[in-house]
Amino acid sequence: MGLIRKFIGNKIAEAAIKAGHVPAEIPANEEERLQDLKRLKLIEKNIQKDKRFSSFPKLAATLTGCTQSAIHILDNETQHCKVSYGKDLPTEVMTKEAPRKLAICSHVLNNNSKPLVISDVSIDERTKHAYALAPNFPRFYAGSPIISNKGFTLGTFCVFDDNPKTLEHTKIDGLRMLADQFINIYESTVDPTYIQSEAPTDVEKIEGEYFSSATVLFSDFVGFTKKTEELDPGQLIEILDSFFSGFDKIMERFSIKKIKTIGDAYMAVGGIPDLNSDHADRTVQAAIEMINYVRGINFQQQALGNEPWEIRIGVHTGPIIAGKTSSEFDIWGDSVNIAARLENSGDRMRVNCSEETKSFLKKSYDYELKKDVELKGKGKAQIFVVKKEA
C-alpha cells in the first residue's frame, strides 16, 4: 500500500508542477533540520495510539472550529501524517504520506517560525494548482510550526476546513500553544543521549531552548553619551544604579525576567520560563511603570538642579532562543533585534510596540500609530506608541 500511495502522490505532484505549481523553497538550515529530526526519531516512532498525543488533533479542531486536524512531520522528500482527526478512511490512507513538494505544510518551513494561514487554498498562488488536481481537498488551511527545543521546524500542527474561512488571532495562538505542548511532551520522552560532534574545548558551550512566543523589552537612555561628559563617574554610576535597581523591582513585580544591562541599556523578557499567555500585557505594563519611575527620579534630579533623564522603550513579541553560556543567561533571535530597533526608532518616554505585540494585548490602550517607520536592517514597519490605558 505504501508503494502505491507513493506512486500516486508522485504522479499528482508531477501533474501539479506541469500545471504551474511551484514547490516551497528548501530552508537554508535544511541539513541541520534533518539532523535534528533524526535525533528525535519522529518519523520512525508511531504516536497514533499513544494517549499522550492521540487527542491533540481533536482538541485543535475543536479549538479552531475546523472539521479536520493533523500533525505532519516533513523529511527531505515526504510529509508524514503522524496522527489526525476528522478524515474519512480513504483520505486518511492516501494522505498518510505525501510528496513534500506538493504539501502545503512545506511552506511553513520558510515562514519565519510563524503560523501559516491560507483562507482559500483553491485561489492562493502557492496551492491553487495542486488543489485543481484534488478538488475534494479542504479549502481552508492553518498550520503552526512544530519547532524543537533546538529551534528547528520539523513539521506542522495544522487544521483544515471544507469551506474558506478566517481564524481570529486567539485561535491561531491557541494552535501555536498546542504545537508547543506536543513537541515539549514528545521531547521529554526522548533519550537525551545521542552522538554529537566534539566541539573544540576552547569554545564556550551554549545550552539554549526555543520559545515560540515571548515578549522582549529593550530600553535605552536618550543622550547618555552627553551625560557621561557632563557628570563625574561616581555620580553617573549612582544615578544609573538607582534607575536599574528600580527597574529590577518592577520586573519582579510583573514576573518579567531581567536579562542584562549593557552600559545604559536594559533588557528583559516576559513569557520565559513560565510560558504565561499574558506575557505581552505584563511586559507592556512593566514598561509603563519604568517610564513612571524615570519621571519620579527626574523630580529628585530637577530639585538638585540637574537635567532630567529620558528613556526610550521598545517591545516586541515573537520567538526567541533562551539559555545559558558558562557565564550568564541570555536570549537570542530576531525578536531581540526588532525590540532594539523599535526602541531606537521610537518616541522618548513612551512604550513603542510592534504590531505583533499589539495583537497579543488583552488590555485596551490609546495608541498613536506611526506608519512606515524605517527600522535599521529590518525595513519599514508600523510602531504603536502607547499613550495610556483606554
- Coil/strand/helix, residue 280: helix
Please tell me the CATH superfamily of domain 207-389, with its number. Answer: Nucleotide cyclase, GGDEF domain (3.30.70.1230)
- Rounded Cα gap, residues 119 and 23, in angstroms: 19
Residues facing 220 on adjacent strands:
312
- Rounded Cα gap, residues 302 and 289, in angstroms: 20
- Rounded Cα gap, residues 79 and 59, in angstroms: 22
CA–CA distances in Å: residue 20 to residues 15, 108, 215, 237, 300:
9, 20, 40, 64, 69
**Residue 63: all three cell numbers together:** 479549538
Rg (CA), the chain: 24
Peptide linkage before 273 cis (omega within 30 of 0) = yes
- Coil/strand/helix, residue 186: helix
Q: Give the predicted TM-score (pTM) of the model.
A: 0.80
Per-residue confidence in pLDDT tens, the chain, 390 aa: 455 556 556 676 777 788 788 899 999 999 999 999 999 999 999 998 888 888 899 999 999 999 999 999 999 999 999 999 998 887 787 788 889 988 999 999 989 899 999 999 999 999 998 888 777 789 999 999 999 999 999 999 999 999 999 999 999 999 999 999 999 999 988 866 544 444 444 455 567 789 999 999 999 999 888 888 877 888 888 889 999 999 999 999 999 999 999 989 999 999 988 777 899 999 999 999 999 999 998 888 778 777 889 999 999 999 999 988 767 889 999 999 999 999 999 999 999 999 999 999 988 899 999 988 988 888 889 999 998 764
Residue 18: CB partners within 8 Å, gap ≥ 6?
Answer: none
User: What are the boundaries of each domain within the chain?
Assistant: 2-188, 207-389
CATH topology for 2-188 is: Beta-Lactamase (3.30.450)
Answer yes or no: are the C-beta atoms of 362 and 281 closer than 8 Å.
yes
Residues facing 268 on adjacent strands:
217, 258
Residue 269 burial (CB < 10 Å; 0-12/13-18/19+)?
buried
